A and B are shown apart, each in its own frame.
Chain A
């Protein structure tokens, strides 16, 4: 199918985005009558580690899920590396892209889930190799080799043949991270990835994420309640409440001198524990 000139132009990185990896403009999302995202504007530079914090119900997970189009959005724009996500512009309106196209974009925006969502009928190795094989088109050998490499990187070289049911939560989550990494994505989204873990297992997962963040390659968006981790690892912190971005800044700025009352209340509740 031939793209029209308009579509080709729309597919190029737009000049006003200035090489940003993610550009979100006036994003609104409704679940039925309930508006969960009320006008989000956000830009993420390539390689940036952005941590999103906020009370539950603030929309942070929904925002993440809009970025890889697990949730549709009704108003506004999300650009991933210059390309509009999930839709095509037609006379100022959003027209949903076919599954094929969305899948192609999703390959570059990997996600790690709170409940791991590993494929239970596959070993760790197979879980990690599936994407590279079927989406990136690697041969079985090459895909398995890459999978081994990535699993080693997250410290699970000895568990490659294990099924998820035989792994601890921390190990499963590390397989989840490996599965995302194996796709060599531009962006990795982390959706409260340690919230479902027993406390003693949280550390091993955060260690892997810290390593990733410090290698300055992939852009990372992390929704988390782990404030110490956020403070240590983030390039920028974004505080969300009630479907809006209330405040953002460097960890130092946000944690030591929060401007907004709501952020101060939120942090107070947190550090009072």
Chain B
């Protein structure tokens, strides 16, 4: 136990990286997903095709493979990029693809009658999205969005394999030095659990806030 406390500050530094990474990716991934979802539903044929290809490819790859491809691929084609940015990019690619499907599913599940009612009172396309469709869709998006976000927090641990000092890697560095894996892995697990469970609780509150009487 003492050895854990002695090295805890290093784990905290790694935790800080994990949190930063996760928050950025959740935010960016959500934005990409909203744009992607709307384009997939309402965009011109070519755009829809491109988004579809993007989503299908990324969803067919393990997150680790996506991380490796971006991480080693970007410098290979000559673009200099700091490690952390590459990690954010890779995870956002992943998050965006999944979020696009979440948005598409949520909006697509709104009955056509709602769109028609909006049309019948003269609302434009954007007004319909804003006042009729999106408020209803967002409520349906929250549970899968929370799920995805928790998966991203956990999946962020894979960046330890491209030597980004997140919680996972800092934990591994410590236990390699101290040769005591169990207490450290348990501590890391507890920290991840607190992160994920905390986020899920926040998600529940969010779900309640968006609920309307149904």
Question: Interface of A with B (CB < 8 Å)?
Answer: 68, 70, 99-100, 103-111, 113, 115, 117-121, 130-131, 134-135, 163, 165-166, 179-180, 183
Q: List 13 A-B contacts (CB under 8 A).
A: A68-B119, A70-B116, A103-B125, A106-B119, A106-B121, A110-B120, A119-B114, A120-B213, A120-B214, A121-B212, A135-B122, A165-B214, A179-B117
Closest beta carbon of chain A to B127's beta carbon, Å:
6
Interface contact B122-A131, CB-CB below 8 Å: yes
B136 A120 Cβ-Cβ under 8 A: yes
Q: Are B117 and A117 in contact (CB under 8 A)?
A: yes
> Is the pair B214, A113 in contact by a Cβ cutoff of 8 Å?
no
Q: Shortest beta-carbon distance, B121 to chain A, in Å?
A: 4
Number of A-B contacts (CB under 8 A): 77
The answer to the question of B123 belonging to the interface, with a C-beta cut-off of 8 Å to chain A, is: yes
CB-CB under 8 A from B123, the residues of chain A are 103, 130-131, 134-135
CA A180 – CA B119 in complex, angstroms? 12
| Among A70, A100, A111, A134: residue with most chain B CB under 10 A | A134
Distance of A179 Cα from B114 Cα, bound (Å): 13
| B117, B120, B127, B214 pick with most chain A CB within 10 angstroms | B120
Residues of A within 8 A of B214 (CB): 120, 165
Residue B132 at the A interface, CB < 8 A? yes
A165 to B136, CA, bound (A): 14
Q: Which residues of A contact B113 (CB under 8 A)?
A: 113, 115, 117
Question: Contact between B119 and A119 (Cβ–Cβ < 8 Å)?
Answer: no
B124 CB within 8 Å of chain A: yes
* B121/A107 in contact, CB under 8 A: yes
Chain B residue with Cβ nearest A176:
B117
Highest count of chain B CB atoms <10 Å: which of A117, A130, A131: A117
Which B residues lie within 8 Å of A104 (CB)?
122
Cβ contacts under 8 Å, A108 to chain B:
122
Q: Which of B89-143 contact A (CB under 8 A)?
A: 111, 113-114, 116-117, 119-125, 127, 131-132, 135-136, 139
Give the contacts of B166-214 with A (CB-CB under 8 A): 212-214
Do residues A121 and B136 form an inter-chain contact, with CB atoms below 8 A?
A: yes
Please, which residues of chain B bring their CB within 8 A of the CB of A135? 121-123, 127
Complex: chain B residue closest to A103, CB-CB: B124
* Nearest 6 interchain pairs by C-beta: A107-B122, A131-B121, A117-B117, A111-B120, A117-B113, A135-B122
Tell me if B120 and A106 are in contact (CB < 8 A): yes
16 additional A-B residue pairs with CB within 8 Å, beyond A121-B139, A131-B123: A103-B124, A106-B119, A106-B120, A110-B121, A111-B117, A117-B116, A117-B117, A119-B114, A119-B117, A119-B136, A131-B122, A134-B127, A135-B122, A135-B123, A165-B213, A179-B121
Would A70 and B124 be within 8 Å (CB), given that A117-B114, A121-B136, A165-B214 are in contact? no
Which of chain A's residues have a CB closer than 8 A to the CB of B135? 121
**Complex formed: what's the CA distance from A134 to B121 in Å?**
10
Chain B residue at minimal CB-CB distance from A182: B121
Contact B212 A163 (CB under 8 A): yes
The chain A residue with its CB closest to the CB of B214 is A165
Alpha-carbon distance between A107 and B123 when the two chains are bound, in angstroms? 8
Residues A103 and B120 in contact, CB atoms below 8 Å apart: no
Smallest CB separation, B129 vs chain A (Å) = 11
Least distance between A159 CB and chain B CB atoms (Å): 14
Are A99 and B124 interface neighbours, CB within 8 A? yes
Residues 67 to 96 of chain B near chain A (Cβ within 8 Å): none
The answer to whether B136 touches A134, judged by C-beta atoms less than 8 angstroms apart, is no
Q: Which residues of A contact B212 (CB under 8 A)?
A: 120-121, 163
Q: Are B114 and A99 in contact (CB under 8 A)?
A: no
Name A183's contact: one of B119, B121, B127 (CB within 8 Å).
B121
Taken together as a complex, chains A and B put the C-alpha atoms of A115 and B120 apart, in Å, by: 14
Closest A-chain residue to B136, C-beta based?
A121
Are the C-beta atoms of B213 and A163 separated by less than 8 Å? yes
In the complex, what's the smallest C-beta–C-beta distance from A216 to chain B, in angstroms? Answer: 23
* B125 CB → nearest A CB, Å: 5
| Nearest-CB residue, chain B, relative to A101 | B124
Query: Which of B121, B124, B139 is A100 in contact with, Cβ under 8 Å?
Result: B124
